Amino acid sequence: MVSVASISPVPALANPAPRKPNRPENLTVNLASTEEWLVSSLSLSRAPFEVDGLYAIAIKTGFVHRDRVLSLLLLRYPSPSSSLLVLRSLFSSPDSPFPFNSLLSSFSRSGSHLPALLAYSILRSLSVPIDRSTLPPVLRSATFLSSIAVGLDAHSLALKTGFASRLPVATALVRFYCSLGLPALARNIFDRCHPRDFILWNTTIAGLVQCHELEAARNLFDQMPPTDRNIASWNTMVDMYCNKLGDVVEARKMFDEIPTRDSVSWNVMISGYARMGDCSSARALFDSMFERDVVSWNAIISCYVQNGFFSGALELFRMMLREDKIKPDEVTITSVLQACTHMGALNLGQWLHVYIRRQRIPMDLQVTTALVDMYGRCGSIEDAQRVFAQAKKRDSFLCGTMVDILAMHGMADEAFRVFDFMKSHGMKPNDVTIVGLLKACGHIGLVDDGLELFNTMEEKFGLSPKLEHYGCMVDLLGKAGQLNDALELIMGMPMEPSPVLWSSLLSACKIHGESVLAEKVGYHLLELEPSSSGNYILLSNVYSNARRFEEAAMVRKLMKEKDVVKKPGCSSIEVGNQIHEFLAGDRDHPRSREIYEMLQMVATRVEQAGYNYKQYLSSEEEGGRQGRMHHSEKLALAFGLMSTEDGSTIRIMKNLRVCDDCHLFLKLASAVYGRKVVVRDCHRFHHFVNGLCSCLDYW
């Protein structure tokens, strides 16, 4: 069956925001590098006179207001009183009394948490009298930075001064202790505080939920005087049932009980359904909303994405643009980009990239990561690298994504370069980073590097190997022909080996013609996963490779007996704004006749170039030449050749691994037609150029 998933027409970019006047590029660069220079100089210098000089520069350039610069200045100054001078300099009128409190609260409010805490510590060590409005912002920043020391100091000061019973202070303390996972202490503060306002009630309830004290939270909600109970209290409860208990039925009951619902209530409930995978209930609720805000749209779009309904998500996005009431924001874009990633919709992804720039949607880390991932997984590694190189900020998440997609493209050197970048910038590699690197090793056969990394990840990075890492290693060793090492690794694992590991070993056996080991592994696997078609196919292919045709037929028979249906190969290609899908041998595409004619022509030309369908006896099709000739990627290729511009790159996405036959076919076709063909299979990318593949036939 062919479905032509419509993901467009993409609306024209109607109202591009006016372009900012072009700022001279080098000015930006210079200023940015001045800030970097200040930061690194401040980190290095110790002598007071040097700090004085840097301080003067920071004031002149205005960078004294930047968090990192300010924090370092406060840290570098040797005495509290000299740091006080730095703080004073932030205010334009030196004659007026120094407004500590507004300073602190403006730090805290603007997210400059570290400077806020440093300023507070300086004031404390100077014994400057502190009034009650100082404490909430400080506690806020202490909460944000999980700074136990400052929080405790603020608490003890609050007790000494009697401010602890003031509502804003008590509320801030409750929040602080809950964020540390100490609900008992928070509860203690709550119990002693009289009278209470609804903010204290709500904060405490939400804090208890956060600490998984769900019953206590519910009890408190029930005890809350009905006059204090506001919409936030209700929403917290609905959210608790949705997200902490996964009980949408109870959540819905409460939702229906809410006297007057606001948009948050609706959005909480929608995302509750989303989390449970109940897209239709989420959609029903969404459709019945009176007024949707951007969060409602984001909730429903991400619901579709997270539950695998990618074209539905794009459909909703189009609807959102068409209604033109709510402007998509960076959250919307992140979700929509993910949908593109999964569908391989590069054109739409590119359109979104332009949209981001024209609409000045903030390119935060999440958007950047989603964009890099989209380009990488849609086959345009160059664009992914460009976005990564131009990113203003990079965290280990973004770097991990970059490592992973470079690995998928078989670019191990570049992946390790990103890894070096991470280490040199103080980022801790996590599980995913290591998985990416091991994948990179596996894709080009770097056995020693992979082993080295795997064996030292624990001592070097404190990461104990997980199932995924073992999976990478089995694949790495197996593909390299070290089948016994791979087997030993599986046998010695501290955890239960998943079926995937065995099937990975089995496919390594297939590559290396190890039919004896394959037999053992294969039947073990069939016991573990009797309904997974891939294992039968794999084992049967190993047999026919070894010319043990009877046994191969037996495996096929076994598969039939168990009613296991072969998972059909499926390839898709984006042409214009549509994704065209092809299953092996199917004729449902509207232009099917032309496609098959085209394929016939391609085959003739490719055969002249040396393709011979008999070359791979192992190929799983009983259908012989015809079966293989109609593999989905060949259909997609034929369609791509006839419906895209001469010389342009053809990008194909496939759900299964490319078979040997198609691999050869695509190599030759790339040469014959002078086209770059990029194929994403379920493991990695193949870039076919001029008769060669980027995987070097190692896959």
Partner DNA sequence: CTAGGGTTAG
From residue 555 to residue 594, what is the string marking binding to DNA with x (rule CB under 7 A)? ----------------------------------------
Helices (H), 19-130: 25-44, 48-61, 67-76, 80-89, 100-109, 113-125
Residue 450 phi/psi, 5° resolution?
-60, -45
Helices (H), 162-258: 167-179, 183-192, 198-210, 214-223, 231-239, 248-257
Nearer to DNA, 68 or 657 (CB): 657
Cβ neighbors of 392 (< 8 A, separation 6 or more) are: 363
Residue 683 sits in the site that holds DNA (CB under 7 A): yes
Total residues interacting with DNA, rule: CB under 7 A = 75
3-state SS string for 361-375 = CCCCHHHHHHHHHHH
Nearer to DNA, 369 or 670 (CB): 369
Nearest distance from residue 507's CB to DNA, in Å?
5
Residue 368 sits in the site that holds DNA (CB under 7 A): yes
Nearer to DNA, 90 or 321 (CB): 321
CA torsion 544-546-547-552 (nearest 10°) is -40
Nearest distance from residue 576's CB to DNA, in Å?
26
Residue 404 sits in the site that holds DNA (CB under 7 A): yes
Residues numbered 433 to 452 that lie near DNA (CB under 7 A) are 433, 435, 439, 442
Residue 108 sits in the site that holds DNA (CB under 7 A): no
Candidates 46-54, 88-96, 313-321, 369-377: pick the segment binding DNA (CB under 7 A): 369-377
Tokens of 487: 């087997």
Residue 364 sits in the site that holds DNA (CB under 7 A): yes
Which one among 121, 134, 141, 298 touches DNA, defined by CB under 7 A? 298
Helices (H), 214-329: 214-223, 231-239, 248-257, 263-275, 279-287, 294-306, 310-323
Nearer to DNA, 394 or 580 (CB): 394
Which amino acid, one-letter code, is at 352?
A: L
β-sheet with 570-575: strand ranges across: 4-6, 578-583, 570-575, 650-654, 677-680, 685-689, 692-693
Nearer to DNA, 113 or 589 (CB): 113
Residues numbered 405 to 434 that lie near DNA (CB under 7 A) are 430-433
Alpha-carbon span 7 to 317, nearest angstrom: 10
Residues numbered 227 to 286 that lie near DNA (CB under 7 A) are 230-233, 235-236, 239, 243, 262-265, 267-268, 271, 274
Tokens of 41: 């100089």
Nearest distance from residue 567's CB to DNA, in Å?
10
Residue 503 sits in the site that holds DNA (CB under 7 A): yes
Alpha-carbon span 549 to 388, nearest angstrom: 50
Nearest distance from residue 156's CB to DNA, in Å?
22
Residue 90 sits in the site that holds DNA (CB under 7 A): no
Residues numbered 173 to 192 that lie near DNA (CB under 7 A) are 175
Pairing label, strands 650-654, 570-575: antiparallel
Nearest distance from residue 447's CB to DNA, in Å?
13
Candidates 94-102, 363-371, 544-552, 567-575: pick the segment binding DNA (CB under 7 A): 363-371
Nearer to DNA, 2 or 186 (CB): 186
Residue 682 sits in the site that holds DNA (CB under 7 A): yes
Is residue 602 within 8 A of residue 670, CB to CB? The reply is no
Residues numbered 320 to 339 that lie near DNA (CB under 7 A) are 329-335, 338
